[in-house]
Amino acid sequence: MRCYEYIDANNETKTIEINIGGDNYEDLLNGVWELGFINENPMLDNRENDTFYRTEKDSNSEDIRCFKNKVTVKLW
């Protein structure tokens, strides 16, 4: 694990541990990548939200809501 320092939406400096290494870590440091926090998306917990969830059939052929594999998130 590596420590990464960033400035949050309140202009406060924070440090977190990340598991990114090699060229990917360099891309993060050089601004090619941005680090985003999924909890900054308020509708994440709403299973009726089609941005984050889709409807699938379970083993009994009943509809269930599942978190999408790929979602667009807002980076601050």
pLDDT tens digit sequence for 39-74: 667 788 888 989 889 999 999 999 999 988 877 766
Q: Are residues 46 and 70 both part of a single domain?
A: yes
Write out the residue range of the structural domain in which residue 44 sits.
40-76
Q: Are residues 30 and 52 both part of a single domain?
A: no
Is residue 76's pLDDT more than 60? no
Tally the domains of the chain: 2
Predicted pLDDT of residue 42: 76
Q: Where are the beta strands (DSSP E) in 8-61?
A: 13-18, 53-57
The CA-based angle 42-46-47, given to 5 degrees, is 145
Q: Are residues 45 and 29 both part of a single domain?
A: no
Is residue 15's pLDDT more than 90? yes
Residue 39 pairs with which residues in a beta bridge?
none
Q: Are residues 44 and 31 both part of a single domain?
A: no
What's the CA gap between 41 and 68, in Å, rounded?
A: 14
Predicted pLDDT of residue 10: 85
pTM here is 0.49
